[in-house]
Amino acid sequence: MSTSLLNQVEAAATLIQQSTYMVVFTGAGISTPSGIPDFRSAESGLWLKDDPMQVASATAFREHPERFYNWLRPLLEASWKALPNPAHHAIAQLEEKGFVKAVLTQNIDRLHQKAGSRKVIELHGATSQFHCPMCRSVPQDSQLIIEEILGGSIPHCSRCGGILKPDITLYEEALPEKAWVAACQETSQADLFLIAGSSLDVVPAASLPYQAYQHGSRLIIINYSATYLDRYADVVIHQNVAEVLPLITEKVSNRR
């Protein structure tokens, strides 16, 4: 470990130990080490292959459900098979130790829950839940629906025959109100806000860290690329979050 990185890890661990209400905000970069592709990276982002308005918008779902599910299928499969990586486990450990009060995530893969995090607010929903836009019914067996989709089918509502929609936020849709209100409440209480694996490009979710900063929260940013908040952060680490977060968590644990 370089001296520079060691100093950054030490500084982050100190901030965590001094905090009384730490909130973690995560994006696609925390899940790519688990094999889930991100959407906007310069070399492999999903939007280099597809126009999101053509495959991942509310209009695409309504008018071209086959196109929508052809796009969703490989992402759903990756999410379903993926396992949490050391970054997810590090956050769960910090929650278990009482430091992390909530995890706000832009991800739809449920890897935080798989790692053991208990208070997770999913700003963009999750691929593991479905509902019928026609009659508003909620199927009980999501696993059966996922298996149906992965088998090449489009899932239909058993009650009215409508096409089932995963509980994820598409383009042209607002964020789930309940999740947004809860995230804003957590943000307003934070005295330390840790951003992990997010380029902070997607609004309105990306506005939450700045809201925290405006309320007086300290900021830690761990992300490969620069973000618009780097200049305001107390610690900025442009490295692999799956390697750095466990180092910080270990440092916090050893000090205690």
The CA-based diameter of the chain, rounded to the nearest angstrom, is 62
Residue 217: strand, helix, or coil: coil
3-state secondary structure of 124: coil
Q: 85 near 6, Cβ under 8 Å?
A: no
- Tell me the pLDDT tens digit for each residue of 160-199: 999 999 999 999 999 999 999 999 999 999 999 999 999 9
**Exposed/middle/buried for 227, CB within 10 Å: 0-12, 13-18, 19+?**
buried
Beta partners for residue 237, in sequence order: 222
Inform me whether the pLDDT recorded for 112 exceeds 60: yes
How long is the chain? 256
pLDDT in tens, 64-95: 999 999 999 999 999 999 999 999 999 999 99
Q: Which residues are part of the catalytic machinery?
A: 124
> Residue 130 in contact with residue 142, Cβ under 8 Å?
yes
Residues with Cβ within 8 Å of 74's Cβ and at least 6 positions away in sequence, in order, are none
